Amino acid sequence: MLKKRLGKRFLFSGGLLLAICCGAGLAMATTLQPADFTCGLCGQKFSDQMVGSFSTGGGDSEFRPRYLGMNPLPHFVHTCPQCHFTDYSHEAKFSEAERKEIRKYLEGYCRKHNCSQLKPSQKYEILAHTQELRGLPPLKVAESYLRAAWMADDENNRLAAQRFRQAASQRLARALEGREVKEDLRPNLTYLVGELNRRTGNFTEAMQWFGRVQAPQPWLAALVKQQRELAARQNAAPAGMPAAD
C-alpha cells in the first residue's frame, strides 16, 4: 500500500506506478475535506470537497489504482459553478488569448451538455481539452483523458470510455515521440499505449507497441506477455495485473 496526502496526485510518476504495480507503504482510507477556490478563469469564489488523503494497493492493466475505501478520482478536480472551468487547483494563469479560447470552448460544451450536473468523466474531459488549449504537455493531457475513461467506465458509458482511451493513447504516443517522458517511465508508458489500443480494439497497433517495450522489471515483462496474448486473441476486455511469482 502507498499512503498519499494532498499534492497533485499525478499518475505518471515512478513512485505511484510502483505502488500500483507492486504495492508499498501504509494503508489509509480516502478522506475529504472542505476547501475554498477562486476560479482561475472567471474569478468566481466557490467551495468544494477536496481529497485530504488516499491509499493505493495495486492496480489493473491500465495502471488504474485500486483505492482503499472511496474512489478519490472525482474529487481531485474542481469545477467552477459559474463558468464550469475545471482544474486541480485553479491556480493557473492565462493569457487573454487563452482565456478567450477556453470560454468559447466551455460555452459550446455547455450548449451540448447539462453543465449544472456534470459527471466526473465530463469534468476530466473539460480538464483535458482546456489543458490542451493552454498548451500543456501531451503527457498531462493524456492523464486527464485516461482518468475520463475510467470515470466513463464507472458510469457505464462505453462509447465515451472508448473515445477517451483513444484520445489518451494519441497524446501518450505524442509525448513518447519527444523528450517529455523520463527514461525510467518510457517502458511503462510505451506498454500503456499498447494496452489502450488493445482496450479500444486496435489489436494490430497494440501488438506493435507491446513489441517496442524494453522491460527492465520482471513485473512489466510479465504484464506485456499477458497483454500481448490477449491482443493476439483479439480480446479487448479489462484485465488485472499478472500474479506475482
Least confident of 9-23, 111-125, 135-149, 196-210: 9-23
DSSP SS3 for 27: coil
**Segment 190-199 mean pLDDT:** 98
Q: State the pLDDT at residue 29.
A: 86
Instruction: Please count the CA atoms within 13 angstroms of the CA of 32 that sit on its side-chain side.
Output: 15
- Give the DSSP letter string of 113-127: S-GGG--HHHHHHHH
Q: Is the pLDDT of residue 155 over 70?
A: yes
Share of the chain above pLDDT 90, in %: 80
User: Is pLDDT at 168 greater than 80 in this prediction?
Assistant: yes
Instruction: Give the residue extent of every domain in the chain.
Output: 2-228
As beta bridge partners, residue 56 has: 2, 67
pLDDT attached to residue 7: 37
For 145, the grid coordinates are 483523458
Asked if the model's pLDDT at residue 133 lies above 70, the reply is yes
Calculate mean pLDDT across residues 64-80.
94
The mean-pLDDT minimum among 171-175, 203-207, 216-220 falls in 216-220
- Contact criterion met (CB below 8 Å) for 240 and 60: yes
Residues 6+ positions from 32 with CB-CB distance below 8 Å: 49, 50, 51, 52, 70, 75
Contact by Cβ (8 Å): 88, 39: no
Q: Are the C-beta atoms of 93 and 110 separated by less than 8 Å?
A: no
Place of cell 478519490: 72
CA distances for 136 relative to 44, 66, 180, 231, angstroms: 23, 27, 11, 32
Region 37-56 average pLDDT: 95
